[in-house]
Every structure is written in structure tokens, then in C-alpha cells.
Structure 1
Amino acid sequence: MIFPDMLQIDPLVASCRKGTLTPTDIVKEVLARVEAYNRVDPAVWITLVPADRLLARAAELESLSASDLPFYGVPFAVKDNIDVVGLPTTAACPAFAYTARESAEVVRCLEAAGAIVIGKTNLDQFATGLVGMRSPYGQPHSVFGSEYVSGGSSSGSAVAVAAGLVSFALGTDTAGSGRVPAAFNNIVGLKPTRGVLSTHGLVPACESLDCISIFASSTADALQVEQVARAPDIRVPYSRAMDPRKLPYGTFRFGILHKEDRFFDGCPASAVLYERAIQQLEELGGTAVELDFAPLKETAELLYSGPFVVERLTALEDFYHEHRGDMDPTVGQIFDGANKYSATDVFKGIYHQNLLKQEVDRMWNAFDVMVLPTAPRIVTKQEVAAQPIAVNSMLGTYTNFVNLLDMAACAVPAGFTPDGLPFGVTLIGPSFTDDDLALLAGRFHAVSGNTSGMNNVAVTSSTCTASTEAAPGNVLLAVVGAHLKGFPLHWQLEKEHAVLRATTRTAPDYRLFALPDAVPPKPGLVREKGFVGPGLEVEVYELDAAGFGRFVSALPQPMAIGKITLADGCEVSGFLCSEAIARSGKDITASGGWRYATL
């Protein structure tokens, strides 16, 4: 089989289910790619899982049913401050290294879903930095030039995805470490809401702010990973359950920087690309609203220029006092700065943080999401070597405040400068808007024509592609209303052990109506030839034939099952409605889907 440049999740899993590909094939391909890329950049990995262990894992999966595992055979990488059982966790500091006795909870969830850990990736030591230059294991470089930084601290994870070595990678994000490397390598970086992914098994940087983040070639892949991995964990002090908040889809408001607040550190090409991203979002139905950047900037300064740096020392206090000389000089200098603050200073900082949060929370009344540059510009390794702290601070201009203000974020590619260097923007939303934020970011990524990875692979806004097929004897079913996850009739799908395969949209020639007097409330979907709308959000589930039959036989009038065309042209079974009955209800097509409708 000829593998694609980017190992996207759905095509890999679909090929395994069809029997045209096996996990063993995938492991062998990944090992060959890793070996080849090591000759280009030997600093991506700290530890690789031995080949015999990977092949044994592949053989184990081949004894199981592919239809039961959403990530069957999917290869992924893990930042080396996250535990993988039997492998060393170094946090990029040899003196700190230990062998993990169990995997981090997120890793365990992903492996239980059929994914395969390929190895542990390089990072800025103790996840302290945005440059990817603070590691004794080498300094990974951007896939677009060996003289440019990869971004940090999740440096190796971002490069592993951008180079097509794995389907996705876990990073961490305290101050931007899951977003800046995404921008510098032309991929997606999804930073979940704080606490919805367990941090059990993570070496903490700032435990109250840390997030495990996800790198992928598309927002669809990144969101699938988050949805599989997230769950509350009573072992983690800041863990919390996901409580999804809606964002509008068809029309929306997005906050942007005033002209005078647009800082690109002397790079006019970045300014042009940011302006272009704003125009493209307006073409998607967005309305730009200028925001006040001052409280965001003030919050950002608390992280390294204020008492919050004490939390970094708290996480590693004993090691710091015993092994200060074993630490990277710049990282050690940052830890040293914690010693000048008192407990009183810390509480004053917390009070200040919460006052700023109240001010920023009021900003959401003016817009639904923020759209900011991910970083002012990409920098060279030489620049970092000359001014390691100043350059690092500049790179965090638009990222450092996000976790302090309890926001979700999704970084996506936004084009290239005339000299071929990548630029990215980040969509930022209130906490718990992760799902809708990723969907909106995915629309921008696809419709704007921006690519992914070092080979500039095209992406679509849909997680369902023409190659997505059900396993033999199974059926794909698109649901559009009361059967969506979190809605009153979703239990009927759970009863039949349906598995979510995609969150996507219909083709644009569908309308959606709120059915009159329906209990529970539900919509009716109809197709209108020649109509051009936003497309309606659907979830695509896979059921076995018997379960599908039981599900269909229980449907009440006026609902029926027919063929629905999705945004990428593939057809699946789905809910349709009598047109006469549907049109007697309220037309909610402009909302973009039942989840976003105001009834």
C-alpha cells in the first residue's frame, strides 16, 4: 500500500477495517519514516519503543476486532514529560529520569482505543520554554528549515506530526507549548479546557495551569483524540468533567486586535497574513469586533514576570535544591526567579489574576471567540541563543494568558510568508467550548485553503472522507438532532453500542426545521435542490446491521432513514423528514445545526 504523507486517523482506520492494511503494516511504515527523518533531524525523539515491542503490540491488535476500536492501529507520539509504562520519563533532564510503572491516564485511554505509542519526544526541559532549544537531547528544528526553531516546549511532538511520522502527538500546554510549535510546523494544536484531560502521569510544570494538548494534521483528528481521552479523574486536583458550551456556527462574532496592538516583532509578512485570516473568517460568516488587548497582556505578564513562577518551583522543589547544577542554564535561571517571592506575593498575584479574569469574562458579551496570531513570527536558533529569555517572552505574546483566564484554544495554519515560513492563528473561546471551537477552526483551516505539515497536505473541514467506510456488515448513520451526543435520544444509539466515527456537515443544499410540537424537541432535515447554505452539523455513527435494523424499526413518524450527502461528497444513511411536515416548523438552517439553534 502507498501511504499518504500525513497519517490521518480516519483513512488509516478505514483501511484496517476493510482489510487492505494491518497494524503491522502501519508499524513498519512508521519505523521506516522515523529512521529516514532521523537523518534530517536526530533530535525529535528521546526514546523510541523497541521495534519488537511495537510489532508485538500490532499483533495484539490484530487479534481484536477493528470495528470495536476507534483508533485501531493509529500511531502516536508522547511528549517525554508524560508517562508511558516501561519507558523512561526524562522531562529532558537525565538526572531526573525514572522508568514509568504505569502509563499516564490519557495514554491509557488512547491505547485502550487501539492507538500505538511509537515513542517519547523531545521538549524544552521541564516544559519550560516556547523555543525547543532547552534540551540536552538536541534541539529539533522546524520542518521548514534547520536554522529555525521548532517551537517549544512540545518541540519533538509537533515535528513528529508535521513530518508525517505519526498520526497525532501528545504535548503539554501551560503557556503556549501546544500552540507555538503547531504554528512553526504548519499543523493543528488543540489546547483543551483546563482539567478535562487527566494530568495523572504528567510531570507538572504549573499544576493549576497544565493541560495535555494534542497535535494533529487537522482539527478533526485533534478533536477525535480529545473526545476519546477526556474524562474526570479523582486523582487529579484540578480535574473536572466536560460541560460543553455552544458557539454559533453559521454566523459568529470574533474578537481581533486593534491595529495599534498588532505586534509582529518587525515582520510585515505576519501582519499581512493575520489581516488575510480576518478577511477569510468574515467570508465564512464572521463579524470582526476589535478587542481590548490590555487585560490579556497584563494577565500574561503574571506567568513569568510575577509570583506564578513559584508554582514551577513547587512542582520540582526537592530536585531543584539537590540538582540545580544538572538543569539547563536558562531553565535553572527561571526557577531561580521563584526564590524572590513570598507566600504573600503569591496570594496577591492570585487576587490580581481573578480581577483580570472578571474583566476579560465581560468581553465575551461582545464576541463569541477571539482570533489572534499564534506567535508574532518564527525565529532562528541563532536569535534564541543570543537572547534566550527575551525571545522566548516575545513568542508567548498571544499565548501566555489563556490558561490563567480559563480558556480553550485551537491553533491552525494560516499561510506562509513570501520566504516560505509558516504563520498561524489561534481561535480562543471560553472554557468548555472545545468541540465547537475545533469545528470552527476546522472550517477556517479547510475553506481558507491552508495546508498541513511539511508537505503542505490539503485538509477538509470534514472528518468523514470518501475512504471512510463501515466494517463489513456494519452501517454508517448520520444523526442531526435529538440523537446527537448530549441530547435526549442519544441513549438509543448507546443501547445499540454505536461508535462515533465523525463529526462533520451535510452538503450545502440541506435545510433544517424545528418540528412543531415534537416531544422531545427535534428537527427535520430536507434537501432543497439549488439551495446553498452553511451545511448542517451531523455526527456519523457506526452500528452493526442488527442494531441498525432495531434502531430504524423504532423510529416514529414523520422520521425516516434515507441517504444523506456529506460535505465531502460521500453518502451515508441518515435522518430525513417529510418535507410538508418539516416546513410547517421554524427554519433554523442559518444556525448551522441543532446544537446551535435558538428555538
Structure 2
Amino acid sequence: MTETVAAIVAAHRAGTVSPAETVARSFARIRAHDDPAIFISLRDEKEAVAEAEALGARKDARHLPLLGVPVGVKDNIDALGLATTAACPAFSYMPSHDATAVARLRAAGAIVVGKTNLDQFATGLVGVRSPYGIPKNPLRGDLIPGGSSTGSGIAVSAGLVPLALGTDTAGSGRVPAMLNNIVGLKPSLGLISTAGLVPACRTLDCVSVFSLTVDDAMTALTAIAGPDGADPYSRNRPLSEMTPFPANLRLGVPRSGQLIFFGDKASEKAYGDTLKRWTALGATLVEFDLEPFYETARLLYEGPWVAERYLVIRNLLASSPEAIHPVTREIIIAGARLSAADTFAALYRLQALRKIAERAFAHIDAVVLPTAPTVYSTAQVLANPLELNSRLGTYTNFVNLLDLCGLALPAAMRPDGAPFGITLLAPAGHDAQLASIGRVFHADTKLPMGARGLPQAPLAPLSANVAAEEIAIAVVGAHLSGMALNGELKGFGGRLLEATSTAPDYRLYALETTPPKPGMLRVQAGSGSSIELEIWALPAAAFGKFVAAIPPPLSIGTIRLADGRGVKGFLVEAADINGARDISAFSGWRAFVAEAAAG
């Protein structure tokens, strides 16, 4: 199933599908889906396919993390060769270069196919405020598609592209994710450059990522994150690796009676069921006070941040007010009336609220909230545009004001066919931590992905999370966790990274040693067995001492893992296995020892 980013890149690397074929498939699906309100503009198909062909012919292409992946870009982010409109024809311009995020996507091997529709000037969470039309929700046609990153969310959900960029100031990277049954990653502020982004609130804006899986979103984030001298709000905030699901996860949930669902019993039940799922996964739920977060949310549109939106379009408001969507105009024009005193009063209160939020996170790893309290139809929102939009931001509006990162995840499909989603929140810099727990939760739901009912693939093994002063080493025998020599490994400062297995290129033998240990022999690719092992991280200073203490006939070599990675580990030479028992059928030393003990 070459639908996810991971599967597409793997197919391109294996040569079973070409980047040009994948890009052509995207354009064919866009035509077949036949909703002109999803994309505001599309690239010339022949040009995009030619770019993909040239990419596939490059000698270094195989190593590109997004090799040949078609991408949609929200039309308030510059992409060279396509107009930037922010969903306002009178505002449209041709950019002279890519936004930094788009340039980094291209450098990673992605192919931009078009610019996606949005709530005008990224003002709204509904997806119905664009002169380019209202896209149809692909899950349930009467529901709003979600905004402001409307087209990006739909394009991923409907399978038109596997990856899309959005933006998120007040929830625009999260609400569309829920309404389209996909993943929405809202990174820490400053992690992705906003150079080349038409601002909504410049101090709060961030580029967001939509995908079918958490792993895909993190692949994209890794490719585009990083400081940028062209963005004064960029931060040098190194992105960590994802890690295994933690043993003592503490998740914050609001105090009893604090959650708001506006009478939507289906969403309320779905959230309750979600908490039970987290508990079953091993998380401890810890209550916290949500009221200061609600107060922060009210600041966003009742406070001076509306003036930031006004700054972006004040000239257009003065010269051509009729060019702006009437609801957008009503919201933004209020920004002209705010005083400097109002601004400072709000900043003072926000700083106090940030300190309260810091204390709340001192005893929990993350917060789990509904992404939105309920869902609405397009007809309902058109009839009551301001109030219903505000309700959808109940759990999103405070996030950037409090400098939090977020990950929106599908959680359930309600009995009425509407999707329900949750969002994980943590202080800035914890993006990888949210992904580490979010990927496990999403896989546990076993929900089909997007609007096309795609089954989730098994979670891929995580890459070894090795620190700068460490070296990874694979162990297959007595140094495994709980085995006879594991204490020796820990004595050198070793720490467990992951349990995984080799490619089917090895045979395992029981050597005649004291204490008993196995020897793993590399054989012709594909002609052996997949052997279970563990990867440990050792301090670089201790690595040599540990290896030197390992007696013959073992030696260090590079072991190929099932996912294609290579890691240093213990191997044995063919000359040293004469007379040794082949125990490959046990798939690992632990199973062999267990049977021997039972016998």
C-alpha cells in the first residue's frame, strides 16, 4: 500500500514505483475527485512529472527522506511559480522565491503539486470563508471541512497527496485534522521558519504538517525544521528523536465539570472512551485546572492579537474593503480600535497565565484534550459564523499564546459518521515526545486512515536514539535485558534504546562457551532468519573497554536490521561455528534459553 509517505519513499527507493508515476497519480486523483475548491492553483502536470523524473535520475536520490513525495502547500505560503493569494484575489502576488519551509521540502525530495484553499487570511477554523469555494468534507458531505488549512487537510484525507503544509495560529493545523480523520502536527513556535508565510498573527504563527500517520509528519518535520536567519522569530531548537512509549506516562486531563461539549453527547462519550484507551496503554491520568487555559484562549480574539491580523491587510481594507470576505472583515477591523494600553495590559496578563501553565506541566508529561468540542454542518456555520467558529477553538486558541506544541490525532468515528479527534499538548520543545506517545495511541485505535478507509500499517521500528557522545551496539545473547551478562553492559553505562530484529540474513548458533552464549553468522541475503536483538547506547569512552572485554570467537561487525538500518554488533566467523548447534529456528537467544530451561 503506497499511500503513506513512508511507503511511497520505500517504493521509490526499491524501484517498484517511480517518482514520476507517483506524481502523475496525484494529478489523476485530483481530476477524479473533482472538487475545484480544494486547490486554488495547480502546477502544470507535465512540469511536475518532469521534475520527478529528473529527481529519480539523481545519483543521491535514494537518500532523500521525501523522495518523490507529492505535497500540497497552503496558499498563504510562498511556492515559486505559483501565486500566493491567502484566498483573496485582490491580495494575490507572485513570490520571487520559495518560503523556507517549501525550499527545505524540495531539498528533501518532495514535489509541490499545488496551492490549497483556506479560510481567507487564515482567519477561521471552519473552511467556509473563501471566494474560491467551500470544499466538500470527504468523510461526511454536510459537515464543514475545517479551517483555516482547509484544502491541505482534505487533500491528505482524500488521498490526493500524502503530505501537506498548513499553518496554525489558533488551531488551523488541528481542527482540519480532526474533521478529516488525519494527523495534524503543530510544532513549537520557531521550530519551522515562517519566512515566506503571509502572517496572520506574526508572533504566534507556525507552519503545520498534515499526514496520514505520525511517523510521516515527523519525517516532514525533521526535513524542514531548523533555524533560519530570514525569520526573526526562528529559534535554534534541536529536534529530538522519537523514543519508545514511556513506562510511567502522566497525562493531564481537566478537572471534573471543566470540559465543554456544547451539548454534544457523542463527542463527550468519545472523549471518555479515549481516556480509557490511554489508561489501557499504561498512562496515569492526572487532573489539572483548565480555567487559566480558557482565559488565555479568550485573549486571542478579545485582546490585542487581532491587531496583528489588521496590520497585514490594513491597506487593502482602506482601498478595497469589498475584496475581503465579510466575516473576515468584521473580525479583523476590530484590530484598528485597540490601544497600546490594551496591548500591554493583555501582555501582562498573558505572562501571568504562562507561569500558571508552567506549574500545571510540572507534574505531567502532556495534556490530552478534545481537538474540538463538537462538529457543525456547513449550513449551521453559514447561519451563525462567528459563534460556532469560536466554539471550535475552545481547546485550540490558547496553545500558541502559551508557547505549547501540539499533535492532533484521530481518536474515533462517532455513530453518526462524524470524526472525533484529540490533541496532545506539551511545553515548547517536546514535539518528539508527543509524537512518541501519539504514534502508539493512533496505532492502537486501529482506525482507518483518512477518508478512503485505508488500513493502518504496523508501526515501524524507531531509529536508535543515540546521543552525541554515545555509540549504538546490538546485542543478541547473554547481554540482553534480564540475561546473565546484562549487568556488565549496564556497568559500562549502557542504556536500552529498542528491541528489534535483523534482516533475514543471519544464522544463530549456540556456542560451547562459559557462560553459554550465541554466535550470529551472516549468510547470503534473504537465505537466513530474522534474529531478535536489542540495541543499546554506550558512552563513547566506554565502548572500547566493553568490546575489549568480549572474548573470542566474537568480533564486531555491522548488522543489517529488518528496516534496512545498519548498527554495530557482535558477529561470529564461519570457522568458529564448527560443531555448534544451529538455533535459528528459535529466532533469538531468549526463546532458546527459555526452552532449554523448561526441558
For the aligned pair, the TM-score class normalised by the smaller chain equals 0.7 to 0.9
- The verdict on how the C-alpha distance between 1:510 and 1:434 changes in structure 2, with shifts beyond 3 A counting, is farther
SS in 1 for 2:257: helix
Q: Offset at 1:69? A: 1.2
Q: Does 1:223 align with 2:204?
A: no
SS of residue paired to 1:99: coil
Tell me which of 273, 276, 279 is aligned to 1:279. Answer: 276
The answer on 1:57 being equivalent to 2:51 is: yes
1:394 aligns to what?
A: 391
1:342 counterpart = 2:316: no
SS in structure 2 of the partner of residue 89 of structure 1: coil
Give the letter for the 1:137 counterpart: Y
Query: Which of 162, 165, 169 matches 2:164?
Result: 169
Deviations 1:199-221 (A, max 9, x none): 01000000100010000000000
Larger-gyration structure (1/2): 2
Aligned-pair CA distance for 1:157: 0.1
Q: Deviations over 1:499-552 (max 9, x none)?
A: xxxxxxx9xx97486834537x65587899xxxxxx99979xxxxxxxxxxx99
1:132 maps to which of 127, 131, 150: 127
Q: 1:308 Cα deviation (Å)?
A: 1.6
Q: In structure 2, do the counterparts of structure 1 residues 460 and 14 end up closer, same or farther at CA, with 3 Å as the change threshold? A: closer
The Cα offsets for residues 288-307 of structure 1, whole Å up to 9 and x where unpaired, read as 11121100000000001122
1:69 to 60, 64, 75: 64
Paired residues, number:
520
Cα distance in 2 for partners of 1:523, 1:51 equals: 48
For 1:220-279, what per-residue CA distance to the aligned partner results, in whole angstroms no more than 9, with x for missing partners? 000110011011012212110124579972221001123312211221111111011111
Residue 207 of structure 1 aligns to a residue whose secondary structure is coil
Instruction: Identify if the C-alpha distance between structure 1 residues 296 and 556 changes in structure 2 by more than 3 Å, giving closer, same or farther.
Output: farther
Distance 1:560 1:179, change over 3 A: farther
Note the 1:134-149 alignment, pairs <5 A: 134-149=129-144
> Please, which of 85, 94, 99 is the counterpart of residue 99 of structure 1?
94
Listed as ranges, the matches of 1:156-195 within 5 Å are: 156-195=151-190
Question: What CA deviation, in whole Å up to 9, does each residue of 1:67-99 have, x standing for no partner?
Answer: 231111111100000000011000000000001
Task: State the partner residue of 1:211.
Answer: 206
Q: How far is the alpha carbon of 1:56 from its aligned partner?
A: 1.7
Alpha carbons of structure 1 residues 523 and 295: separation in structure 2 relative to 1, 3 Å: same
Structure 2: distance between partners of 1:304 and 1:524: 45
- CA, structure 1 residues 341+536, in 2 after alignment: closer, same or farther (shift >3 Å)? farther
The corresponding residue for 1:252 is 249
Residues 541-592 of structure 1 deviation map (CA, whole Å, 9 limit, x = unaligned) = xxxxxxxxxx99x9766595686877xxx686545579xxxxxxxxxxxxxx
1:26 is aligned with what amino acid? T
Please say if residues 498 and 534 of structure 2, whose CA atoms lie closer than 8 Å, have aligned partners that are also in contact. no
User: Percent identity at matched positions?
Assistant: 40
The residue number in structure 2 matching 1:542 is none
* 2:492 is the alignment partner of 1:518: yes
**Aligned position for 1:45:** 39
- Tell me the SS of whatever aligns to 2:233: coil
1:559-574 aligned at under 5 Å gives the runs 560=556, 573-574=566-567
Q: Residue 441 of structure 2 corresponds to which residue in structure 1?
A: 444
1:20 has 2:16 as partner:
yes
> Is the partner of 2:26 in helix, strand or coil?
helix
SS at match of 1:353: helix
AA matched with 1:278: L
Q: In structure 2, what is the equivalent of residue 236 of structure 1? A: 231
Judge conservation of contact 1:191–1:409 (CA < 8 Å) in 2: yes
User: 1: distance between equivalents of 2:413 and 2:338?
Assistant: 42
Spell out, residue by residue over 1:166-205, the C-alpha distance to the aligned partner (whole angstroms, 9 max, x if none).
1100000000000000000000000000001000100000
Q: Within 5 Å, which residues of 2 pair with 1:378-393?
A: 378-393=375-390
Of 50, 71, 78, which aligns to 1:83? 78
- Rate the CA distance shift 1:536–1:399 in 2: closer, same or farther, 3 A: farther
Partners of 2:412 and 2:275 lie apart in 1 by 13
Post-superposition Cα deviations, 1:377-414, rounded to whole Å, max 9, x if no partner, equal: 11101111111010000000000000000000000000
The 2-side partners of 1:333 and 1:281 are apart by 41
Retained in 2: the 8 A contact 1:560–1:576? yes
Q: Is contact 1:479–1:574 with CA below 8 Å preserved after alignment? A: no
Map of 2:104 onto structure 1? 109
Is 1:262 aligned to residue 259 of structure 2?
Answer: yes
Residue 29 to residue 308, structure 1, CA distance change in 2 (3 Å): same
Aligned pairs for 1:319-398 (under 5 A) are 319-398=316-395
Runs of 4+ with deviation above 6 angstroms: 245-248, 524-528, 535-539, 562-566
Q: Residues 200, 391 of structure 1: CA spacing in aligned structure 2 closer, same or farther, 3 A cutoff? A: same
Tell me the CA shift for residue 322 of structure 1.
2.2
Asked if structure 1 preserves the Cα contact closer than 8 Å seen for 2:499 and 2:535, the reply is no
Q: Aligned AA for 1:294? A: E
Q: Secondary structure at the match of 1:198?
A: coil
Change (3 A) 1:526 1:128: closer
Q: 1:80 to 1:286 in 2, by over 3 A?
A: same
Distance 2:480 2:325 in 1: 57
Question: Is the 1:413–1:451 contact (alpha carbons within 8 Å) kept by the matching residues of 2?
Answer: no
Quote the Cα distance in structure 1 between the aligned partners of 2:490 and 2:286: 36
Q: Residues 210 and 76 (structure 1 numbering): CA distance in 2 closer, same or farther, change over 3 Å?
A: same
2:469 match: 488
Would you say the 8 A contact 1:525–1:576 is kept in 2?
A: no
Shift of 1:463: 3.8
**1:119 equivalenced with 2:93 (yes/no):** no
TM-score, length-normalised on structure 2?
0.81
User: Shift of the alpha carbon at 1:146?
Assistant: 2.0
> CA separation in 2, counterparts of 1:350 and 1:441?
32
How much does 1:455 deviate?
Answer: 2.0
Q: How does 1:538-577 map to 2 (within 5 A)?
A: 560=556, 573-574=566-567
> Conserved in 2, the CA contact under 8 Å of 1:510 and 1:527?
no
The answer for unaligned runs of 5 or more in structure 1 is 465-477, 494-505, 529-534, 540-550, 579-599
Q: Distance in 2 between matches of 1:101 and 1:390?
A: 39
Cα-to-partner distance string for 1:315-374 (whole Å, 9 max, x where unaligned): 333233223221000000011111221011111111111110001110012211000000
Higher relative contact order (CA 8 A, sep 6+): 1
How far apart, in 2, do the equivalents of 1:132 and 1:184 lie?
Answer: 11
Which stretch of the first structure deviates more once superposed, 445-454 or 193-202? 445-454
What code does the residue aligned with 2:104 have?
C
CA distance in 1, matches of 2:221, 2:535: 18
Query: For the structure 1 residues 438 and 527, does the alpha-carbon distance in structure 2 shift closer, same or farther, using more than 3 Å as the test?
Result: closer
RMSD value, Cα? 3.0
In structure 2, do the counterparts of structure 1 residues 282 and 525 end up closer, same or farther at CA, with 3 Å as the change threshold? closer
- CA distance 1:54–1:333, change in 2 (3 Å): same
Does the 8 Å CA contact 2:75/2:118 hold for their aligned counterparts?
yes
Distance (Å, rounded) in 2 between the aligned partners of 1:525 and 1:309: 47
Give me the whole-angstrom Cα distance separating, in 2, the residues matched to 1:511 and 1:282.
Answer: 26
Structure 2 gaps, min length 5: 502-531, 537-542, 572-599
Matched residues in 2 for 1:31 and 1:419: separation? 32
| Distance in 2 of aligned mates of 1:104 and 1:74 | 18
2:139 maps to a residue whose letter is F
Q: Which residue identity lines up with residue 276 of structure 2 in the other structure?
A: Q
Which 10-residue stretch deviates more, 23-32 or 192-201? 23-32
Q: 1:334 to 1:73 in 2, by over 3 A?
A: same
TM-superposed CA distance for 1:62, in Å, is 2.2
CA distance in 2, matches of 1:79, 1:135: 13
